Structure 1
């Protein structure tokens, strides 16, 4: 059996060198803090921080499973005045980990607490958190009651300012079934259908009372205005039901976008809306697309 030099000798052979003794301090209190430099750096920054930070989060819902752990992607930031060079970004991750250790469910209220805590910790007047995660829900097929899990993407965008309070947005991205009204009208039999992708983002009135489970409300609004919802499991009686339901509720992307916008507008806790719908057309290479935005002037 062949013998080799020691691990240290092997590392040296492949280029490793001893650590430099160096001249710079080793203790934190003796190190220069570049971020604390103060002079005229020309521009105020609305946001500075970290993005694409993946962390596990706890989710609760009125829909089964009512408690779940999923993985979210965070953007954490604070403002930065023109006279300060930078922020201590490690404090952002420390604050996120404290949030994780608290085991608080991820929702509007807990994110409001997190943004305020970030602003205090960073000694800045404002802070923002953007987060997106897959939310899983159990759905039963419409006839045979077969269960399975599906998911939608939920997004929160919460901004805190020490004088103005909070600005909160909640989004939901999911998919539905759509059936073409034109195809149904002109064809002797049948109609082409496709899978539609719907994305909504709503702004919340700060003083209004909003539902305990906003994401479930938004999902219902999307699915109930499509030709038919999607299901994880469909047996033949279920497939018949879903196919016929879509045929009875033909929808263009324009129709879905407007119908969802109307129902969102009717919610007293919603201040502003943005709705986008994209159909993966089954008879074209291109997609059909529509978008609607509205802000209540109250």
Structure 2
């Protein structure tokens, strides 16, 4: 949904992130990507290296604190955080065991919650410098609702011992109306209409902010009965133009609301049994580069598809995002070749495997374009879907990068090689993580197209189906011969 994020009013929510296994910095950044699927990260502290608490001899932690906005309630947020930890490989063999990621809910506004497995504020925050120091960096004035002292005061009291700030190092209508005449060939057509209709649309806005303008492309279709020669092409424009005045006077809250209104207007204007509207809008996303922390603005394509029978409507919301993919096949060939070279030079099998595991293996890579659409679930936000698509590829991409950022992304991509099919399957698996609470009839379209670098063709993969079908295959191991299609889902229950 394209709307201003202020879902919790004045409630400020803070999370603590930590890692002391594997690529600690990479793990924190990966966790932030996952968080972006159901929250908006408003502020992020510097990274701090800290001594472990309660586990002597364990590796040091890398810690940070972030402020987020979300429509999730406290327990829902906690469950989401636990799913992220599990997805990233956290095990709990014993208390305070080393872990690749640890995400704690520090504050949920000024709420005080004391339940068996949910305590807010965090019960030990006043003792922990690795939480208080990064918190004081981004919200020094924030008051502890029970202790009545600010984050800065609490941080000063606990001191900086064992907490060291670090840099991110890699860091017309015709009078005769011939369209109503009987056609020579009496066959009904599924979709007839106009495509690539360009408009500037107004979306969002609230009492505190003006609506934003977006450049959009619209496709408008209606089904055509076998008794009718053609649709009224001008009526497609009319359906849109009749809304222009309303669009100018009071903006639509989001792109899917506009799509639904247009689909309903087209179905009624054409007296059609079924209409469909697609909207593509270019949307600026404020982002922070992974290592240099530079604020940049990238563009994403937000999508919405809506259908109507003249009375009811259904819609989907989605995104189209660019990313980077690395070919696993070529990488495996290079690995085998390098392995033999090292063996020929006298290195032992153990040494060779250690070297190959340590160094990223070269491969050819390509720009990938991922598309993700969802329908039927409440609270789906297009900007959150961006994170799911990006984390499913080998790496995300940015318009502007410093050299350390470039190195980090190239290294990350080559350590996460994925075929075009892998990317689609990762999207599906990540959807189950992020939207575990969504109903089974929620529809999903996941698509990936890779613009090959050493071939003249593109590679393509797509999935269409419901969350229930995805859960059945991934979680229950029950393969399906047939999945629900987009057209079937849009027309579900309609004659």
**Same fold at TM > 0.5:** yes
What are the equivalent positions in structure 2 for 1:83-232 lying under 5 Å apart? 83-103=227-247, 104-105=251-252, 106-162=254-310, 165-181=312-328, 183=331, 185-186=335-336, 187=338, 190=360, 191-192=362-363, 194-205=365-376, 208-211=377-380, 213=381, 215-232=382-399
Other-structure match for 1:47: 191
Other-structure match for 2:443: 271
Instruction: Answer with 246-255 or 95-104: which moved more.
Output: 246-255
What are the equivalent positions in structure 2 for 1:6-45 lying under 5 Å apart? 31-37=175-181, 42-45=186-189
- Post-superposition shift, 1:96? 0.9
C-alpha change, 1:125 and 1:259, in structure 2 (3 Å) is same
- Post-superposition shift, 1:237? 3.0
Match of 2:418 among 242, 247, 251: 251
SS of residue in 2 equivalent to 1:49: strand
Other-structure match for 1:295: 465
- Post-superposition shift, 1:116? 1.0
**For 2:202 and 2:287, how far apart are their aligned partners in 1?**
20
**For 1:120 and 1:254, how far apart are their aligned partners in 2?**
40
**For 1:96 and 1:38, how far apart are their aligned partners in 2?**
27
Is the CA contact (8 Å cut-off) linking 2:373 and 2:444 kept in structure 1? yes
What are the equivalent positions in structure 2 for 1:60-79 lying under 5 Å apart? 60=204, 68-79=212-223
C-alpha change, 1:38 and 1:239, in structure 2 (3 Å) is closer
- Post-superposition shift, 1:128? 1.5
- Post-superposition shift, 1:168? 3.0
Runs of 5+ unmatched residues, structure 1: 1-27
Is the CA contact (8 Å cut-off) linking 1:74 and 1:130 kept in structure 2? yes
Name the structure where helix makes up a greater proportion of residues.
2
**For 1:162 and 1:253, how far apart are their aligned partners in 2?**
38
- Post-superposition shift, 1:230? 0.7
Is the CA contact (8 Å cut-off) linking 2:267 and 2:273 kept in structure 1? yes
Other-structure match for 1:25: none
Normalized against structure 1, the TM-score is what? 0.72
Report the aligned-residue RMSD: 3.3
**For 1:286 and 1:87, how far apart are their aligned partners in 2?**
39
Is the CA contact (8 Å cut-off) linking 2:200 and 2:216 kept in structure 1? yes
Match of 2:427 among 250, 260, 278: 260
SS of residue in 1 equivalent to 2:455: coil
1:221-273 Cα deviation digits (max 9, x unpaired):
01112222111221233233323333443333333222112223553263233
SS of residue in 1 equivalent to 2:389: helix
